[in-house]
Structure 1
């Protein structure tokens, strides 16, 4: 729990991102679904789920960041006088980001080379390959796949389009984060239409390297005054790099294990995300796979398709509000029976299929 985060402020996201996405074929805002049974369970006034199970033809939110970053990358290459021939867009992924980059490359007549770490289900790998991407499976963890992708991107006419940043590689990850701002803009409009124009009192965010959380913090902490929601990050217990970093007060790398929350199985926070996470997150929690699976089943019963990563938002909030100290945490987050809560369900049920052998 981090009581000073709601007073932290940063600059706003750039204008024009939402207009770019709105002009893409197949764009539509994803649903913001109100679920009264969850409001009753959690002791909140209203609970909404931002359902990213179908975003620009893919089963996760990642296409927002990939499409904007590739657009910016290709525009910059054209402005610099680079040749008109196709480029190879290189990335590493636990599933959804790589597929989004591959889809964007295919639609724009570019090539994609995607590095996949161990533990990603064969169906997820096949979905990336089906976008005409070259896929290289790496026997190590996600951080190793990122290292291999960065090496491959050093080749001529290749560009690394990675959704995590490190010193010396921050511009393109920054564009990916900008792309996610469309999701937050949609939430504002949808809550206003639902009679909750003040916005949410709490947003629960699944976190891998922290890029989506950076976008959410930027959106809500860039307002000079007025209502500031509590922001909660949720990670797998086996890969809680943000929770551990916040506990220590500096970014650290954790050695992850297997988790069904494959898209959150990241060991190091993004360097550009870290200042925003450290400044703007009110709370962080890590949950076991079983809690995420239970949350996914509950969301499915209420008509929302959510994979293990997306359902982590509900699992994390349940963990925070229940058990020993739950009432104190509820008070610290400013939640009561009139509060508006938004859960970010970042992927659909089949977006990142996982192996039952994970432990």
Structure 2
């Protein structure tokens, strides 16, 4: 493994923070179609990684969509609408590389609102079509994800519009905070399905899901190790951790389109800096191979979802693995949870 593709901070397990807000799980439980997603044990993958148990949190069908993003979008839109006086309709504006925009569009329709979604270059046409099928207005941007976010923020300044973005920057943090809080339901389900694992592996784009993981596990008493996984072509969290300050990186093409983000969320950054044990970057070939392997074990994962298995393999095996395992505090009986954040339907590029 290249030194530049790994970071660890074992002191993270001693850092603590406050919990996620109350009431999120109850809100989700009241939505039509809610059910906890499966936590599937895959014994055939545990032995090659040198751990006792390996389980996959399968987000391939979350509230009728093929990714976890509906958790954050639904809670944030609920909070936005609850805070608005009267019943005037609102246009919900966002930028996306696929799953978040589709979730905002679906939840906007469910709550009787309109959606306008900005999509950067490189998103597969089928993913764009899926957003449009939710009756959203779609604007394709000649630029990368960060440019799409800029355009969406600009459009949301129009009267009757609200930005529902899953990344934060100084001055825009309340709504991204609601989105992160929405993700807390996923970890509450893991508590009920398993208890406390030894390691949780989280695919990271701008870092919002990883922030939710840190909040959940660092507000309790159990020293759970947390590791993020990113594409080598868009490893903004890893680069920021290595620098000790948030940095933007240029992004390239990757099959992990939902992770193709160049700038960490300003809201997530302090939690990632202080609460993550490790970060790793992987190549497209690693992700594609992991998706095939998960499929062979009956777990349907897209390339972003499979990134967690690929990252675990890079971290826990190969040259230098003993030191990396020690940094994560993992023995041979460890229980590892992989977050498979999307199904194959969420990424038609494969």
Q: TM-score, normalised by structure 2?
A: 0.97
1:163 and 1:322 mapped to 2: Cα distance?
A: 33
Cα deviation, residue 109, structure 1: 1.1
Q: Alpha-carbon deviations, 1:162-194, whole Å to 9, x = none?
A: 000000000000000000000000000000xxx
1:159 aligns with 2:162: yes
Identify the residue that residue 338 of structure 2 maps to in structure 1: 343
Identify the residue that residue 175 of structure 2 maps to in structure 1: 172
Identify the residue that residue 266 of structure 1 maps to in structure 2: 261
* Alpha-carbon contact 2:50-2:316 (below 8 Å) kept: no
Identify the residue that residue 144 of structure 2 maps to in structure 1: 141
Identify the residue that residue 113 of structure 1 maps to in structure 2: 116
Identify the residue that residue 313 of structure 2 maps to in structure 1: 318
User: SS at 1:350's partner residue?
Assistant: helix
Gaps of 5+ in 1: 192-196
- Note the 1:81-230 alignment, pairs <5 A: 81=85, 83-191=86-194, 197=195, 199-223=196-220, 225=221, 227-230=222-225
Gaps of 5+ in 2: 1-7
* Alpha-carbon contact 2:201-2:338 (below 8 Å) kept: yes
Cα deviation, residue 85, structure 1: 2.3
- Note the 1:290-329 alignment, pairs <5 A: 290-329=285-324
1:219 and 1:353 mapped to 2: Cα distance?
A: 31
Identify the residue that residue 194 of structure 1 maps to in structure 2: none
Q: Alpha-carbon deviations, 1:99-151, whole Å to 9, x = none?
A: 00000011111000000000000000000000000000001000000000000
User: Alignment partner for residue 59 of structure 1, among 66, 80, 89?
Assistant: 66
User: SS at 2:81's partner residue?
Assistant: helix
User: SS at 1:204's partner residue?
Assistant: strand
Identify the residue that residue 3 of structure 2 maps to in structure 1: none
Q: TM-score, normalised by structure 1?
A: 0.95
Identify the residue that residue 276 of structure 1 maps to in structure 2: 271
1:182 and 1:297 mapped to 2: Cα distance?
A: 28
Q: Alpha-carbon deviations, 1:204-263, whole Å to 9, x = none?
A: 00000000000000000011x3x2111000000000000000000000000010100000
Identify the residue that residue 46 of structure 2 maps to in structure 1: 39
Cα deviation, residue 321, structure 1: 1.2
